[in-house]
Structure 1
Amino acid sequence: MIHASLQAFSSHCARQPLGKGPFAIVIAEDATELASTLDHLTHLGFRRIFLLAPDDVDLPDHLADPDLIDVIRHPTRRPGTAQAAVNMLIRLAPGQWLHYCYNAEYLFFPFCEQRRVGEAIAFVTEERRNSVLGYVVDLYAEDLSHHPNAVSLESAHLDSSGYYAETRRTTDDDVLDRQLNFFGGLRWRFEEHVPEAKRRIDRPALFQAVEGLQLREDNTLSIEEMNTYSCPWHHSLSAAICSFRVAKALRTNPGSRHDIDNFRWHKSTRFYWSSRQLMELGLMEPGQWF
């Protein structure tokens, strides 16, 4: 179903509630790999996908299961509109689990090749947690002369090292318990082209829409416990969001595109679209889930 705006979608939900999740929200900034992003979420087992896209973004001709996808026309390129859209959907889906991403981004959680997202959520819920921290892992094409927008599923590469974390503090300089600011990937290697506020790679990968929750502009949640990387007593499951978004932006923006002719370096490695590879590189954690 296609909705003319977020307001139209909200009115529709008042008449016909969304039902049971988990739900995925895709924020389409353009049409790049939009079909593969939607197909990936469908295969992971999301019960419904909400696609937010401007009027000038063409919808894919073929989708894995078009009945699962609601299209919401929305100006996703304006600053702050992504957070506003996610926050509206939080209010429309109380108690349900959500994931949000952009086009050309792909959610991975431990053992996702054999297990559905509902199974991961069930495990996290048993551990009395209502969020899964994610790390945005930058992907980029091997050869920019063949893929000038840096996007290629077949030759995708990622950085195998260069990731680090810093203590997260409040505005009063108090240390936040079990919270860290994570950095790495292209935002670290090409930081001169990335605003400081956009350099972090941590983002909530899955979270429950609890009452009063808000997604903030810095991609943290307003309930601090939901931003923690683990529970107090042991390591918790985490996820990775494998993303071409930064590479594409660096190759598109006038201030950086002429300075970058290759993203590869001596720590680049081919991405095999495997949760095991991400775990072996330390880019996500199975916790106590075996």
Structure 2
Amino acid sequence: MTYDSVEQFLRDGKAELAKGPVALIFVEDDVEIESTLYHHLDLGFKKVIALMPAAFPLSDELSELCPRITLEAPRGRSMIDAVNKFIEAAPTLWLYYGFNAEYLFFPFCETRGIGEMLAFHTEEQRDAMLTYVIDLYAPDLEKAPNAVSLETAQLDRSGYYALARLDPENHNHPKERQLDFFGGLRWRYEEHIPANKRKIDRISIFRAKPGLQLREDFTFTDEEYNTYACPWHNNLTAAVCSFRTAKALKANPGSTFDIEEFTWHNSVRFDWHSRQLLDLGLMEPGQWF
């Protein structure tokens, strides 16, 4: 089913939100749309919704499986506004948001569904989950000029770090259980990335509630949602393995000619398995075994 706007969907298609979790996939270009949607369907989301420009095609099978909402500029403010409309329309529903050519992984996702993981997370009295956006990139930019190759994807095995998140409303003291995380291509090519876009942390998975709002830096108006763990022990985290930064760096005229390849001495082939991400410390199983 295709809807002309988020408003029409929330008016006429709200039955699609009867059960969660629900994945909102914002399609910015025509790269790996179908693999992204199938990946999140395979994770066990009750519904995967594609928000995308009308010009992009979608197979008949995916058109049956995934409600489609026309959104001509699925990034920036329009993307934030769309997420906030879903929050308002579906309080208590678990939501995930991401972009095309981004693939969510969580601990043991090969054998356990997203619903199982969120049931455990809910039992730990958590309403949001920190995700790290891990950059993927093609090793050969002559064969893959847009930097996207699922078959040969690589990621950085090291170079990640965290800094205290300062609170300007409290004399710049560090916020409790909040950190800013950095690494990947946004760190290695920071001269091409605006300072306010260099973080790799994103609260991608959360439970909607009345009054909650997503902000443009991918944090929420409820500060507890922005924490990486509860006060008494570590919690689950997840990873969003993403070609988005690599695509942007190669598409941007200001950076494309400065980058002959993304591969460096800390590049490793991506195995498309949660065990590799756990072994590299790029997500945390918490108390879930």
TM-score (norm 2): 0.96
Task: Report the equivalent of 1:227.
Answer: 226
Secondary structure at the aligned position of 2:85 is classed as helix
Structure 1 residues 278 and 94, CA gap change in structure 2 (3 angstroms)? same
Secondary structure at the aligned position of 2:258 is classed as coil
Task: Report the equivalent of 1:134.
Answer: 131
1:237 aligns with 2:229: no
Task: Report the equivalent of 2:7.
Answer: 7
Task: Report the equivalent of 1:271.
Answer: 270
Task: Report the equivalent of 2:206.
Answer: 207
Task: Report the equivalent of 1:176.
Answer: 175
Indicate the larger mover: 215-224 or 75-84: 75-84
Residue 254 of structure 1 and its aligned partner are, at CA, apart by: 0.8
Q: How far apart, CA to CA, are the structure 1 residues paired with 2:5 and 2:23?
A: 18
Indicate the larger mover: 48-57 or 230-239: 48-57
Q: How far apart, CA to CA, are the structure 1 residues paired with 2:61 and 2:185?
A: 31
Q: How far apart, CA to CA, are the structure 2 residues paired with 1:246 and 1:76?
A: 18
Task: Report the equivalent of 2:279.
Answer: 280
Contact 2:163-2:180 at 8 Å conserved across structures: yes
Task: Report the equivalent of 2:96.
Answer: 99
1:110 aligns with 2:121: no
1:232-277: CA deviations, max 9, x gaps?
Answer: 1111000000000000000001111111110000000000001000
> Aligned runs of 1:26-175 on 2, under 5 Å?
26-60=25-59, 62-63=61-62, 66-77=63-74, 79-172=76-169, 173-175=172-174
Contact 1:35-1:62 at 8 Å conserved across structures: no
Contact 2:51-2:70 at 8 Å conserved across structures: yes
Secondary structure at the aligned position of 2:10 is classed as helix
Gaps of 5+ in 2: none
1:254 aligns with 2:253: yes
Task: Report the equivalent of 1:187.
Answer: 186
Q: How far apart, CA to CA, are the structure 2 residues paired with 1:155 and 1:47?
A: 30
Secondary structure at the aligned position of 1:80 is classed as helix
Secondary structure at the aligned position of 1:135 is classed as strand
Residue 77 of structure 1 and its aligned partner are, at CA, apart by: 4.6
Contact 1:107-1:205 at 8 Å conserved across structures: no
Q: How far apart, CA to CA, are the structure 2 residues paired with 1:96 and 1:67?
A: 22
1:187-222: CA deviations, max 9, x gaps?
Answer: 000000011111000001311001111110000011
Q: How far apart, CA to CA, are the structure 2 residues paired with 1:278 and 1:228?
A: 21
